[in-house]
Structure 1
Amino acid sequence: MDISNPRRILAVSLADSTQHLTRVIKDLTGTHPEQTSTTLAGSSHNLSLKTAYYTAEVPIWLDLISSPSEWADSFLSPEAKEVLEVLGGLVIVFSLPTQSQSDEAKTARELIQNVGKVVKEGLGGWSWDGVSLCLGVGEIDDVNEWEDCCSDLGLEFVQVRNRTIQERNEFGEKTGIPRALEALESNDWSQTSAGDLGSDFEDFEEELGIGKDSKANGKDKDGPDLDPESLDFGFDREDFAGLRQAIWNAGQENDEDFLNGEPSTGINPNEGEDLDDEEIRKIERMMVKLQAVRDTSAGLPEEQRKKVAANAVAEVMKEL
Structure 2
Amino acid sequence: MEVSNPKRVLAVSLADEANHLRRVIRDLSGSAPSPVSTSLAGTTHHVALDTRYYKASVPVWLDLVASPAEWAESFLSDEASEVLAVLGGLVVVFALPAPGAPADALRLLIRHVGRVVNAALGGWEWEGVRLAVGVGEAGADDWDELCAEAGLEFVQVGPGRQTQSGLNEFGERTGMARVKEALEANDWAQPDSPPFSDFGDFEAGSDGHPEISDADLDPENLDFGFDRADFEWLRKAIWSAGQQDSPPAENAGASSIREMIASDDAQDGDGACGKGTGPAPGLDGDDDAGVVHDDEVVKLERMIRKLQAVREAGAGLGEAQRDGDDDAGVVHDDEVVKLERMMRKLQAVREAGAGLGEAQRKKMAAHAVAEAMREL
Task: Quote the residue 2:136 is aligned against.
Answer: 138
Residues 194-251 of structure 1 show CA distances to partners (whole Å, capped at 9, x for unaligned) of: 46789xxxxxxxxxxxxxxxxxxxxxxxxxxxxxxxxxxxxxxxxxxxxxxxxxxxxx
Shift of 1:89: 0.3
Where 1:177 maps in the other structure, the secondary structure is helix
- The 3-state SS of whatever aligns with 1:34 is coil
State the alpha-carbon separation in 1 of the partners of residues 144 and 176 from structure 2: 16
Residue in 2 that maps onto 1:161? 158
Q: Which residue is equivalent to 2:36?
A: 36
Contact map agreement 2:82 2:195 (CA 8 A) in 1: no
TM-aligned CA deviation for residue 36 of structure 1: 1.4
Give the RMSD, CA atoms, in angstroms. Answer: 1.8
Q: Name the SS of the counterpart of 2:150 in structure 1.
A: coil
TM-score (norm. length: structure 1): 0.58
Q: What are the within-5 Å matches in structure 2 for residues 5-20 of structure 1?
A: 5-20=5-20
- 1:11-41: CA deviation from partner (whole Å, max 9, x where unpaired): 0000100100000000000000001110110
1:74-128 deviation per Cα after TM superposition (whole angstroms, max 9, x unaligned): 11110111000000000000010012x532x211111111111111111111111
Instruction: Please name the residue that 1:175 is paired with.
Output: 174
| Identity level (%) | 55
C-alpha distance in structure 2 between counterparts of 1:27 and 1:39, whole Å: 19
Cα distance change on mapping 1:196 and 1:66 into 2, 3 Å: closer
Partner of 1:150: 147
- Counterpart Cα distance in 1 of 2:135 and 2:196: 35
Alignment of 1:58-73 (within 5 A): 58-73=58-73
> 2:158 & 2:144 partners in 1: Cα distance?
15
Q: Which has the larger radius of gyration?
A: 2
Q: Which amino acid aligns with 1:174?
A: R
Compare relative contact order (CA 8 Å, sep 6+) and give the higher one, 1 or 2. 2
Aligned residues: 195
Q: Give TM-score, length-normalised by structure 2.
A: 0.50
Partner of 1:27: 27
- Alpha-carbon separation, structure 1, partners of 2:67 and 2:101: 18
The equivalent residue for 2:359 is none
Relative to structure 1, is the Cα distance of residues 4 and 108 closer, same or farther in structure 2, using a 3 angstrom cutoff? same
Aligned residue for 1:187, secondary structure, equals coil
Equivalence for 1:276:
none
C-alpha distance in structure 2 between counterparts of 1:196 and 1:80, whole Å: 12
- Distance in structure 2 (CA, Å) of the matches to 1:196 and 1:66: 30
Aligned equivalent of 2:340? none
Deviation at 1:132, TM superposition (A): 0.3
Q: Contact 2:85–2:195 (CA<8 Å) still a contact in 1? A: no
Deviation string for 1:56-90 (max 9, x for gaps)? 00000000000000000011110111000000000
1:259-274 maps to which residues of 2 (within 5 A)? none
Whole-Å Cα distance in 2 between the matches of residues 102 and 197 of structure 1? 46
Q: Quote the Cα distance in structure 2 between the aligned partners of 1:138 and 1:197.
A: 42
CA–CA separation in structure 1 for the residues paired with 2:73 and 2:90: 16
5 Å matches for 1:1-320?
1-99=1-99, 102-103=101-102, 105-140=103-138, 142-163=139-160, 167-194=166-193
**SS of structure 2 residue aligned to 1:47:** strand
1:193 offset after TM fit, Å? 3.8
The whole-number CA distance in structure 2 between the counterparts of 1:162 and 1:115 is 23
